[in-house]
A and B are shown apart, each in its own frame.
Chain A
Amino acid sequence: MSLSSKEYFIRETGKSIKRNGIMSFASVSTVAVSLLVLGLFLLMYLNTDNLAKYLEGQVEMTVYLEDTATGEEVAEMREKLKKMEGVVQVTEVTKAMAMERFKNRLGDQATLLKALGKDNPFPERIKALVSQVEHWPKVETAKFGQEVVEHLFALTKVMRIGGAVLIVFLCFATLFIIINTIRLTVFARRREVVIMKYVGATDWFIRWPFLLEGMTLGLGGAIIACTVVDLIYVSLSGRLHTTFAFFPVLPSWPTLLYADIFILACGTLIGALGSYLSRQLPFPEEVPAGLGGAAL
């Protein structure tokens, strides 16, 4: 491709975007809104995933002992638990302490043991621990809060599947918008395209300005989306930190960098793909009747 061709493509892309100003503005806006939703959802998904991982790491096993257990039996059991793989801390809560701490909430159940996974204990591991401990003498029940963990897993699963579906759906919606915009551009420039064909332009020469236009519109929308996503995230994460200090919000850096790269790549790729696909549709071969004439 010669230098004058590159200049020509860039000039034509700029002219075309300017010429179809309202349509270009509409498509950049729609792409921006789609990518904004996509970006916000991505960050929400990343944070939920992070929260799930964080809570998974907080899993504790509670072993309830029978009332008849003696002090010696409890001490022995504590030593046994400490030696078990995956247990990092064992906390004994006596009946009196429990009464003190939880007042009437725990009734006559006496001991609370904390079993914390070292880095990120797998639920199976905790389950295995529970199933072992359950069979010890004097143990009435052993629980690891599986309801909470299971609910969390279900939630993250829904987030993962739902997120993937929504992202795919939004990508398709954005793609559809770009295809339509480029089709309109092609329609607006059909005379030019027909003349290009008559004077011997290759298909790729004709295609380049449209491809660049799609990419520019996609990138433009993506830049707007990135800016808004960044502003929203920084503002919201700040508020979350001050309101819910325990909530593990992902830090802006480098989370936003990854999100921005994803949004920009998505916008540009979708723009290019939209242009490419729009050219696969039937194309005007002839100047339609009635569009001829001197000034046209």
Chain B
Amino acid sequence: MLEMTDVSKTYPGGNVALRNINVRIEQGEFVFIVGPSGAGKSTFIKLLFREVLPTSGSIRLNDVDILNLTAKEVPYLRRQLGIIFQDYRLLPDRTVYDNVAFAMQVIEAPYRKIKRRVMNVLDLVGLRRRAYSKPNELSGGEQQRIAIARAIVNSPSLVIADEPTGNLDPETSMEIMEIFQEINNTGTTIIMATHDKEIVDSMGKRVIAIEHGEIVRDELNGVYGYESEQ
């Protein structure tokens, strides 16, 4: 599904973010990326949706070398992915429904399909009743659910989440993780960078730890392994 071979990333100015990363993630896996702040987790995540390019190495997603894609092909790569951020990145002047439908409109999906699919996804994240509310009328947890709904509405094969529970309280974070688990149960791969010890320890998933730009640990049924930063 995803294969990174000898991937290194040095930013202009000489800051080495990642060093010789070799990792293989299969379809349907649920993987946590953990490590101290500045260890290279965000760079790892950004490489996956070609937000940044590595200095060396190769990245293959579904047997496609994503580094060889032209600028015009990048949007089509991103259609196979669902991306979720800590700060939700919603459009404040649009309703919940419109925020989710937006992801389908931009890939030019037919109107009828959009309506049906958006409602199904809002059901999945428990927001059907709030479909016509504006994001700022909702709690942080509900806003993150909108972001999740938007990420999965195009049925991506891989969901990438960068600190999705970073702004949420522990109880809400666990609710969000239940949604991720449900998504994973449908066969969607999930790669999540997180600082949340409780979540990682309670989920019992594969854990890849990055320190100083290198993978120092890769365990199935792993634990967070650091003191909680929450």
Binding site secondary structure of chain B:
loop
B106 touching A191, Cβ below 8 Å? no
List the A side residues contacting B78 at CB < 8 Å.
Answer: 197-200
Q: Tell me the complex Cα distance, A19–B75, Å.
A: 27
B106 touching A287, Cβ below 8 Å? no
Q: Tell me the complex Cα distance, A1–B88, Å.
A: 29
Q: A-B contact count, CB below 8 Å?
A: 81
Q: Tell me the complex Cα distance, A161–B111, Å.
A: 54
Q: Tell me the complex Cα distance, A181–B85, Å.
A: 30
List the B side residues contacting A295 at CB < 8 Å.
Answer: 92, 135-136
List the A side residues contacting B51 at CB < 8 Å.
Answer: 285
Closest to B140 in A: A294
Please, what's the 1-or-0 string for B8-46, where 1 marks a CB less than 8 Å from any CB in chain A?
000000000000000000000000000000000000000
B residues contacting A by CB (< 8 A) are 49, 51, 71-72, 75-79, 81, 83, 85-93, 102-103, 105-111, 114, 135-136, 140, 143, 150, 154, 167
Interface centre among B71, B87, B136 (most CB of A within 10 A): B87
A195 touching B89, Cβ below 8 Å? yes
A4 with B110, Cβ < 8 A, contacts A197-B75, A200-B76, A201-B75 known = yes
Whether A192 is near chain B, meaning CB under 8 Å from some CB there, is yes
B135 touching A199, Cβ below 8 Å? no
7 more contacts with CB within 8 A, not counting A2-B110, A205-B106, are: A5-B108, A195-B102, A198-B89, A199-B83, A199-B107, A201-B107, A294-B88
Q: Tell me the complex Cα distance, A216–B188, Å.
A: 43
A294 touching B91, Cβ below 8 Å? no
Whether A8 is near chain B, meaning CB under 8 Å from some CB there, is yes
Whether A281 is near chain B, meaning CB under 8 Å from some CB there, is no
Q: Tell me the complex Cα distance, A203–B70, Å.
A: 12
